[in-house]
Chain A
């Protein structure tokens, strides 16, 4: 059970589960708290993990959305995410994975270039969000957006599927026009 598959388990009744993967425990915890504060018709469950694979001997609900959190100030956090990605089944990348880069505002602390994460997200055909999780206001808006995505990924929004959302958010073929 080293690879995480979206269809491993049956969905729980009205439950939507998100898995946040990242090295920065405190930030993930804060983001999780902010998400749980959101008003939402589904029963939200937030799982936190430092890295993948997850331990196999635990009983856990079906995961509807995985968000990899990269701290741009730490090369280790990127490396950790890159390694964790190997333990995710390809079908997850049909709209049930997102990347979140934190720390972009503090340019001078960045040890990872923004384009590196852009490229990573593009390789995995998944959306990338920038958000400085340290700032409470930004964290709250991000949490709100993630909850909305999660509801779609869990199939709780009629008429929109995860794949549907992904195709809507897909960026242009060339994501590196940043340097204009």
Chain B
């Protein structure tokens, strides 16, 4: 391993992510581990060469960059015309390199320090922040160091704003999030700054994990909302909290609004695309393989280019694809959670079952059969509650009756059944027919007298006034309902352990 260590740091994740790709596409990968590590050493060697070539070509630019970095590190001298010119020259160098190739983690570390320490004027700081484009990744420690500068109070508020916007834009490129998450309280306190609030909200929105949601924070957010009005960014954060712990927040939040944060003028848009391409050229394909059905999107709606079912994304995802080979004891030894998007195989699930962190948007589990197994097996009430919450929001957002109207007062339905009972009387029997009837066929078992007024009466009315095709589909769905009930009951009979079961 040691000769490979020489490879430039910025190149490392690229190599490992490629390794992990071949890994992911192969379902039997865990058996082929050894073959892989053999072939890897060859490919690494080739890459090493290419890196050197590349460095030759850019040698001059690199040198100039190093000079510029040293200049910035030393800090400003007494201002004079000539010094202004060198400053300008060095800034230009940094900007050129950054926009062309991106900056290595160490370079970003140095420059972040410079920008937030307030050595230079605010204009220079802004220019530096604006060109903080990573070549591949940003190290967590640099961010933590930068945040510590925020406490010193040397930062202009516009630099702070720019820094938070940068954090939001670059969030996915930060290699770890654990230490940053430890600073959650600090970020949360920054919400009180009116100017920073929207950006901090957005950052927190990305950073929040379930354990960050605390009653006192909910109270604080509600206080802020009372003070500043129903700001979309506050509501976004609140609704995320509600996603995590539905029981903690009883206020109703708008469900219709989908864009909480203004991102239209993202300063780093083109740069981000470039970085993403650098980092994960072949990556999207493997994602598609894994997520399959999620990418099939009903054509008629424009869902901000998202599919209904969110993509798996645990809040603390890290980019250590290279760590695949960790042994069981390693995992048991550390009590950190395993990011679900790295879950690829059943053995992996078994290894990490004690430290899985479920995604922030519970709906994402629907596309992952491994996680569905997990949810079935842990029988955690709060998981189901979160799933219900997600589902009811989706139902409400997607349901055409609620589309027609502009209500945003209503709270989420507690489950599919309630949704069904509420909207069946309004249903015209035509729109979303198959989906609706499918919901009917999954209604849980209960007595006929309970079901009749809420379901069968309404269905009967539709049945007798609708087309023959509708009649057939109703019969079909009722048949499925009976089948489901039978299955359900037979499973209950098998259990038999509960003496006072409803049967």
Contact = CB atoms under 8 A, between A and B. Distances in A.
User: Do these two chains really belong together in a complex?
Assistant: yes
B431 interface: yes
A32 B410 CA distance: 34
Given A105-B404, A106-B404, A148-B465, A142 B454 contact: no
A135 B401 CA distance: 10
Contacts of B428: 131, 137-138, 141-142
A106 B430 contact: no
A90 interface: no
A141 B461 contact: no
State the main secondary structure of chain B at its contact with A. helix
Contact of A104 (B426, B460, B466): B426
Interface string B411-439: 00000001001000110111100000000
A148 B466 contact: yes
A108 B430 contact: no
Interface string A47-65: 0000000000000000000
B469 to A, nearest CB: 12
Given A108-B409, A148-B465, A171-B457, A130 B426 contact: yes
B464 interface: yes
B407 interface: yes
A172 interface: yes
A129 interface: yes
B429 A106 contact: no
Interface residues of B, number: 27
B405 A135 contact: no
A135 B400 CA distance: 10
A132 to B, nearest CB: 6
B322 interface: no
B452 interface: yes
B454 A138 contact: no
A135 B453 contact: no
B404 A135 contact: yes
Interface string A118-143: 00000000010111101101100110
Contact of B464 (A105, A144, A168): A168
Nearest to B410: A107
A27 interface: no
B430 A137 contact: yes
A127 to B, nearest CB: 6
A69 interface: no
B402 interface: yes
B39 interface: no
Contact of A171 (B431, B453, B462): B453
B86 interface: no
A109 interface: yes
Interface residues on A, range: 20 to 34
Nearest to A118: B425
Contacts of A175: 453
A13 to B, nearest CB: 25
B453 A107 contact: no
Interface string A153-180: 0000000000001001101101101101
A106 B405 contact: yes
A86 interface: no
Contact of A127 (B401, B404, B454, B461): B461
A150 to B, nearest CB: 10
A169 B461 contact: yes
B454 A107 contact: no
Contact of A149 (B453, B454, B465, B467): B465
Given A129-B461, A141-B430, A108 B401 contact: no
B406 interface: yes
A24 B462 CA distance: 25
A140 to B, nearest CB: 8
A145 B453 contact: no
B454 A144 contact: no
Given A178-B425, A180-B421, A172 B453 contact: yes
B421 A171 contact: no
A128 B453 CA distance: 14
Contacts of B457: 171-172
A105 B406 contact: no
Contacts of A169: 460-461, 464-465
B401 A137 contact: no
B424 to A, nearest CB: 10
Nearest to B424: A130
Contact of B453 (A104, A141, A146, A177): A177
A108 B404 contact: no
Contacts of B453: 171-172, 174-175, 177
B454 A108 contact: no
Nearest to A164: B464
B429 A141 contact: yes
B410 to A, nearest CB: 7
14 contacts: A104-B401, A107-B410, A135-B404, A137-B431, A138-B428, A141-B430, A144-B467, A146-B465, A165-B464, A169-B465, A171-B453, A172-B453, A177-B454, A180-B454
5 closest residue pairs by CB, A with B = A106-B405, A145-B465, A105-B404, A171-B457, A141-B430
Given A107-B405, A138-B431, A171-B461, 8 more contacts: A106-B404, A106-B405, A137-B428, A141-B429, A141-B430, A144-B466, A168-B460, A168-B464
